[in-house]
Amino acid sequence: MRILVTGSSGFIGSNLVDFLLKEGYTVRGLDEGRREFGTAPPQRNSYEELIGDITQEEVVRQATENIDVIFHLASLVTQANVPEKRYWEVNVGGTENLLHASKEAGIKRFIYCSTDSVIGEICRPPARETDTPRPENIYGITKYEAEKKVLEYSKHMSVVIIRPTRVYGPGDRRMLEIFKRIKQGKFFLIGRGQTLFHPVYISDCLQGFKLALEVKGAEGEIFNIGGEEPVKIKYFLNVAAKELGVKIGKIYFPCFFAKAIAVILERCCPIAGITPPFTRRNLEFFTKTRSYDISKARKILGYKPDVGVEDGVKKTIQWYREKGYL
């Protein structure tokens, strides 16, 4: 089976490529060329890498030639100084380009990697796939619009939508920055750390992708893919601190104070040509309830997360140390 992975050089994408190659699939990667942590593409005869932009129809047509299944991960996440128009071009327009080319190429299954951000504020946790999405930022809004496009094409081909919760593990740059600050004693809680957080270790996320590829009856469905259960932010961070041999300080910043600072940084930093050290979106890690029901994935896909928080954090920190990042 020949598989295309878009966003193949990102954190999840690069891990997915390696996983599929080990499973014996022939894989083609499509990305703009930037690689997480400077990792090199796999040097295997069963792997081909294309450099290109999913908003370009010719690139997408070339990428889908002689392909059976597509994992569509490429998207624009949160970046400084990027106009909202670009999010629509990449996350929605790029997805539509890929869907159209997939239909023309006779793709057997199209697996779309969405995000838990499409749900927005969770009023009654845990959030289920049937809850009405209320995305609160341009990333979530455009990913939700892309989901609609994918479901529209379900009458032409087999489609599956995966909504991973907060994925972490070896290669995750965002969690590295948090762990670094904890180790340096520069990390402070925003709020009291009682907000629910739903991490999923990278290998469990990949298990969800594999099941979305293989299981009959998944067609036209949306699945939350998360860890065994949500945990409190403070618990997750304390697990990391213990593994790093330090303790998190008892000082914390009230949420309202942190949000006020974030607003000022978002307005002033772009004027100075620098990226804000943190934004209101970053603060959602501490302030937004992130708890999701994974029972649908368990029932239909047979999904069963294997890696708990303590093991996952330990493995992640060990990898950072081995690579010289911590």
> Residues 314, 243: contact at Cβ < 8 Å?
yes
Expressed in angstroms, the distance from the first to the final Cα of the chain is 39
The whole-number average pLDDT for the span 82-95 is: 94
% of the chain at pLDDT higher than 90:
72
Q: What is the pLDDT of residues 229-247, one digit of tens each?
A: 999 999 999 999 999 999 8
Question: Average of pLDDT values for 182-200?
Answer: 87
Which long-range contacts link 266-271 to residues 24+ away (Cβ below 8 Å)? 269/80, 270/80, 270/81
pLDDT at res. 80? 60
Q: What integer pLDDT is reported at residue 42 of this predicted model?
A: 74
- Overall average pLDDT of the 93-111 stretch: 97
Residue 277 binned pLDDT confidence (cut-offs 50, 70, 90):
low
- Angle between the N-to-C axes of helices 309-322 and 233-244, in degrees from 0 to 180, rounded to the nearest 10: 40
Question: Which of 13-17, 31-35, 250-254 is most confident?
Answer: 13-17
b/e sequence 237-274, b meaning 16+ C-beta within 10 Å: bbbbbebbeeebeeebeeeeebeeebeebeeebeeeee
Among the residue ranges 125-134, 213-222, 268-277, 305-314, the one predicted with the least confidence is 268-277
Contact present, 210 and 299 (Cβ < 8 Å): no
Q: Where are the beta strands (DSSP E) in the chain?
A: 2-6, 26-31, 47-51, 69-72, 109-113, 158-164, 166-168, 189-190, 196-197, 199-201, 221-225, 231-232, 252-253
The dihedrals phi and psi of 84, each to the nearest 5 degrees, come to -60, -30
> CA 1, CA 69: separation in Å to the nearest integer?
8
| Residue corresponding to tokens 């996350």 | 91
Structural domains in the chain?
2-172+198-228+292-306 (3.40.50.720)
In angstroms, what CA-CA distances link 193 with 188, 230, 247, 252, 280?
10, 13, 14, 9, 17
Give dist(CA 276, CA 273) in Å, integer.
Answer: 9
Tell me phi and psi for residue 44, to 5 degrees. Answer: -135, 150
Cα torsion for 320, 167, 303, 299, to the nearest 10°? 160
pLDDT above 70 covers a percentage of the chain that reads: 94
For 2, 31, 46, 56, the CA distances from 63, given in Å and listed in that order, are 11, 10, 15, 11
| Residues forming a β-bridge with 159 | 110
